[in-house]
A and B are shown apart, each in its own frame.
Chain A
Amino acid sequence: MPPFRLAFALSFLAATSLVYGQEESATAVSHHVKEVFERAAKAVVKIHGVDEHCEISGTGFFIDPTGTLYTAYTVGGEAGNFTIDFNGKRYPAHQVLADIRSGTAILKTDVATPALPIGKSEELEVATPVVAIGYPLDLPETPNFGMIAGFDRKYLGRYFSTTHLRVNLPTQRGEAGAPLLNMKGEVVGILVSSLENNSACYAVPIEAAEKIRSDFVRFGEARHGWVGINVSEAARRVEGSRAEMTEIMEGTPAAGSGIKPGDILLQVGRKKVHEPEDVLDASFFITAGDTVPITVLRGSEKLTFNVQAELHPASQRPPLIASPTNQAIPLKLDSEVQRTP
């Protein structure tokens, strides 16, 4: 065979196999998404409610077999008279807890339900594929496929209470409260808001919602904690941290703890601090009443102070529990109560 013909045949074979490979991988992804959707859709429900203005409609999902479900605060936080569409029927539901700081709410209906497994958002990376299942407008359950686009702490110049997952995934109205699933079908986040043109969205990491749920199991309410320290950017990085304590507020747990302004913050609980922004996540997972070990650098000396957290000022208002008669939700058998990291 002449070399020209051989080269042509080889290049033809290579091109064919490339196209075939692309089609095969696209089919595999499609098959994978379909599998996740079919497995998880049964536990995703449409939520109806009535707020002070009108009827509202959003999405939620079951997290245990006794009918406990997570949704966004915008759906389950300030409305009432909830009903859910489940298995082709409509069931009444009531609010168990709503927490504006995390942007989530917990509802409950008294019926046996399927439940979605809880995953770990910490395992996600930028470009990790994810699936969301929601109820857009008055349409049936709809899968959305996208990827993690970033881990944001601020949006339009304002800081979130904890890191939010930015997801390149098209959303529609009615999908607030939808579960964000990894490709194993585990919940890693809850859709809370959309970005420009609904082409992307923000999701609260599932750990934030689980923190609120564990607070409720322990205390009957969400208990955000704090110790009373202001942090800002230090002039230079020391021991890998640029978080300098600038103010120890009077009358707070930190005031008598021995921590001083000018100390460089290295660690809060199990969370290491490198930038002042890292305080947001560390702060969010502090529970009032728990003792928090705080490691600082003073000069060249590394010191650890154990400070008992108090209720966060943002939480010092009547708890947003709709029904005082429902003071507890059952723990999942395979889960443990979260403690302050």
Chain B
Amino acid sequence: MDEFNDNEIGKLLRLKRYEQPPPGYFENFLHEFHRRQRDELLREPLWRILLDRTQDFIFHLDVRSLTSYPAAIAAVLVCAAVISLKIYQEPGTANVAALQSGPALSTAVNAEGQWTLASPAATRIFRAQPLRSLNESADTHRAAIPPRYVLDSVPVSYESTFRF
């Protein structure tokens, strides 16, 4: 600042009065601005662009639209589907679903006993595997309705006459 005193600065400012932009500068200003903006954007990595756009989308999302009736119904349906899936995969009936044909089908219960959404038919096996341990089934049976323990008081078949 010591090299430029007030007079010199005043001289420079007076000279600036006569500087003019090139012809067509103002007409092309907007176009040039967009071009430079795109150039700047393309220098960014792709992941950054995606991140920015996602953030932008989220910040500009209209929250009120989420509370509309179609969205609410869709949410309820999704919840119901998930809950019913869990109910139908309860151990007692899971066994039943696994036994429709000769070769055993595994249930959607994985080795750790957790529920998965995987299709049971996708994991077909051709040798009977234990479906659950008896301790697990004992817990289930305690909670469920007891089965009908079979021993009838009369035989199931009789002959009407002595014929052969």
Name A158's closest neighbour in chain B (CB-CB). Answer: B158
Which residue of A57, A94, A268, A277 is within 8 Å of B99 (Cβ)?
A: A94
B92: Cβ under 8 A from any A Cβ: yes
**Contacts A81-B95, A88-B133, A155-B155 given; does A74 touch B164 at CB 8 Å:** no
B145: Cβ under 8 A from any A Cβ: yes
Tally of chain B residues near chain A (CB < 8 A): 42
B60: Cβ under 8 A from any A Cβ: no
B53: Cβ under 8 A from any A Cβ: no
Which residue of A50, A110, A277 is within 8 Å of B128 (Cβ)?
A: A110
Return chain B residues, CB-CB under 8 Å to A109: 128
Q: Are B153 and A194 in contact (CB under 8 A)?
A: yes
A54 to B144 Cα, complex, angstroms: 11
Interface residues on A, range: 35 or more
Mask, A199-222, CB within 8 Å of B = 1, is 001100000000000000000000
Q: Are B101 and A94 in contact (CB under 8 A)?
A: yes
Q: Are A111 and B128 in contact (CB under 8 A)?
A: yes
The smallest C-beta distance from A170 to any residue of chain B, in angstroms, reads: 11
Within 8 A of A (CB), among B69-119: 92, 95-96, 98-104
A158 to B132 Cα, complex, angstroms: 44
A310 to B134 Cα, complex, angstroms: 47
Return chain A residues, CB-CB under 8 Å to B161: 230
Return chain A residues, CB-CB under 8 Å to B150: 56-58, 72, 74-75, 173-174, 176-177
Within 8 A of B (CB), among A219-274: 226-232, 243, 249, 268
Q: Are B164 and A83 in contact (CB under 8 A)?
A: no
Within 8 A of B (CB), among A156-174: 156, 158-161, 164, 171-174
Q: Are A231 and B164 in contact (CB under 8 A)?
A: yes
A286 to B131 Cα, complex, angstroms: 41
**Contacts A58-B149, A92-B131 given; does A82 touch B159 at CB 8 Å:** no
Return chain B residues, CB-CB under 8 Å to A138: 141, 146, 149
**Contacts A88-B133, A94-B101, A94-B102 given; does A193 touch B95 at CB 8 Å:** no
Q: Are B151 and A194 in contact (CB under 8 A)?
A: yes
Mask, A40-52, CB within 8 Å of B = 1, is 0000000010110
Q: Are A83 and B131 in contact (CB under 8 A)?
A: yes
Return chain B residues, CB-CB under 8 Å to A282: 164
Q: Are B101 and A323 in contact (CB under 8 A)?
A: yes
Return chain B residues, CB-CB under 8 Å to A175: 151
Within 8 A of A (CB), among B116-164: 126-134, 137, 141, 144-164
A9 to B95 Cα, complex, angstroms: 70
Q: Are A55 and B128 in contact (CB under 8 A)?
A: no
Name B144's closest neighbour in chain A (CB-CB). Answer: A55
A228 to B157 Cα, complex, angstroms: 20
A276: Cβ under 8 A from any B Cβ: yes
A182: Cβ under 8 A from any B Cβ: no
Q: Are A286 and B98 in contact (CB under 8 A)?
A: no
Return chain A residues, CB-CB under 8 Å to B102: 94, 108, 110, 323, 325-326
Return chain A residues, CB-CB under 8 Å to B131: 83, 89-92
A193 to B153 Cα, complex, angstroms: 5
Name A156's closest neighbour in chain B (CB-CB). Answer: B154
**Contacts A56-B150, A100-B156, A176-B152 given; does A90 touch B98 at CB 8 Å:** no
A53: Cβ under 8 A from any B Cβ: yes
**Which B residues have a C-beta under 8 Å from some C-beta of A?**
92, 95-96, 98-104, 126-134, 137, 141, 144-164
**Which 6 A-B residue pairs are closest in the complex by CB-CB distance?**
A89-B130, A283-B164, A174-B149, A173-B149, A55-B147, A81-B96
**Which A residues have a C-beta under 8 Å from some C-beta of B?**
48, 50-51, 53-58, 67, 72-75, 77, 80-83, 85, 88-94, 100-103, 108-111, 136-138, 155-156, 158-161, 164, 171-177, 191-196, 198, 201-202, 226-232, 243, 249, 268, 276-277, 279-280, 282-283, 286, 323, 325-326
